Amino acid sequence: MQLTLQIIANGLLLGGLYALLAIGLTLIFGVLRVVNFAHAEFMMLGMFGVYWIWRLTGIDPYLATIIIIPLLFAFGLLCDRLIIQRTIGAPEVTVVFATLGLSILLQNAALTAWTADIRSVTTHYTGMVLTPGGLRISVPMLISFAVAMLAALGLWLFLSRTFYGKAIQAVAQNREAAVLMGINVRRVYMWTFTVAVTAAGVMGGLIAPLYSIYPRIGMSFIVTVFVIVVLGGLGSVSGAVLAALLIGLVEASAGYLIGTAWAELSYFLIFLAVLIVRPQGFFGRRGAEVFGGR
């Protein structure tokens, strides 16, 4: 029983990490209809930002995460202005190549600036655990999980309870109608993209004490996060959180029961099964992938 609970706890904590990355990605897709292949690279930049602040000044990684937020935000705005805005409404292949190109650019910029060296943030709480009921819960993982859940809750409240949030939803549902209602669609796009990639950078900061930091670290997350976004339903924040937790649980339990090598295969099988039964994912809308679709 204890072992089962530990596997569930490990899976949920892992899912929490995925969730923070997935909610930003699903929001970008839901609102902008942009498949952001560069999303995990913003996470990588967040990791490097926190690493260098910690390394050069000794500032705690979590405090450093707060420090990098405005930097990530400004960089997100820049990317939006230079690249994303220009791809809105363009053929899908243009969008794909633009974000894929941004991904490659950021990876290679990091490689040039900081070399391929593998770096680590090691603090006194790197190995710290809480032991409720004999379970062992990693404190850094728990912090990441809590931030992800709070971010998802905050985003859900923002989207459903505020005027601006409803404007974002309106743009997501029907761009043309939103324009006719007087919503500044370009501004909605800009804020959505920038907030989402900032969230990815924040996730990078939060996981810096957990994972090694190198220019291609994003590659190890992005495929899983895309699976989560599609499984949860394109554009659905609550769907992304649910799917992230499910994937985390499947990965942890399949890894234990049938082997680590089978963990990825297991959640891909579940992914395919869900898509056969419900092609739009858990909470997605049919046709959500179409620009301006409903």
Partner 1 sequence: MVKSRSNCASRALLVGVLAMGTPLLALGASAPAAAESAVESVKVGALFPQSGDLAFGAADALEGVQIAVELFNETNQHGIEVELVTADAPDPAGGAAGVRQLVTGDNVDVIVGTYASAIASAAAPAAERLGIPYIETTAFAEGVTRNTGNVIRTTISSGALGASAMDFVLTGLAEQLGVAEDEMRVALLYTDDEFGVSIAEAALERLNDAAATLVIEESYPAATTRDLSSVLLRIQQEEPHAVVHIAQVPDATLFWRQAQQLDVHIPAVIGAGGGYGQSEFAEALGPNVNGIFNVVPPTSGSINVEALSSEAQDLLAGLQSGLEERGWDQGPYTDWAFMGTWVFLDQIVPQAASLSVDDLMAAAAEVDVDALDSITGFGFKFIPAGEDNSGQNERAIPVVQQWQDGRLVVTFPEELAVSQFIDTPLPTWEERTEPIAE
Closest CB to partner 1 among residues 94, 120: 120
Contact 11, 249 (CB under 8 A): yes
- Can you state the angle between helices 185-207 and 61-79, rounded to 10 degrees? 150
Residue 212 interacts with partner 1 (CB under 8 A): yes or no: yes
Contact 99, 35 (CB under 8 A): yes
Q: What is the DSSP letter of 123?
A: -
At 257, which amino acid appears? L
Closest CB to partner 1 among residues 47, 72: 47
Q: Could you tell me if residue 261 is left (phi over 0), alpha (psi between -120 and 50 degrees) or otherwise beta?
A: alpha
**Contacting residue, 251, 266, 267, 288, with partner 1 by CB under 8 A:** 251
Closest CB to partner 1 among residues 14, 35: 14
Closest CB to partner 1 among residues 14, 202: 14
CA separation (Å) from 174 to 201, 217, 221, 235, 292?
29, 35, 31, 13, 5
Contact 65, 205 (CB under 8 A): yes
**Contacting residue, 29, 75, 145, 221, with partner 1 by CB under 8 A:** 221
Residue 210 interacts with partner 1 (CB under 8 A): yes or no: yes
Residue 252 interacts with partner 1 (CB under 8 A): yes or no: yes
Residue 119 interacts with partner 1 (CB under 8 A): yes or no: yes
Residue 108 interacts with partner 1 (CB under 8 A): yes or no: yes
Q: What is the DSSP letter of 164?
A: H
Instruction: Give the residue from 114, 100, 93 showing the smallest Cα distance to 39.
Output: 100
Residue 269 interacts with partner 1 (CB under 8 A): yes or no: no
Residue 255 interacts with partner 1 (CB under 8 A): yes or no: yes
Residue 105 interacts with partner 1 (CB under 8 A): yes or no: no
Residue 68 interacts with partner 1 (CB under 8 A): yes or no: no
The number of residues that bind partner 1 (CB under 8 A) is 45
First and final CA of the chain: distance in angstroms?
Answer: 46
Contacts of 246 (CB under 8 A, 6+ apart): 15, 231, 267, 270
Q: Tell me which residues in 17-36 interact with partner 1 (CB under 8 A).
A: 17
**Contacting residue, 70, 91, 259, 279, with partner 1 by CB under 8 A:** 259
Closest CB to partner 1 among residues 15, 30: 15
How far is Cα 228 from Cα 274, in angstroms, rounded to an integer? 12
Point out which residues bind partner 1 (CB under 8 A).
3, 6-7, 10, 14, 17, 108, 111, 115-120, 122-124, 126-127, 129, 136, 138, 141, 210-212, 214, 216-217, 219-221, 223-224, 251-256, 259-261, 263-264
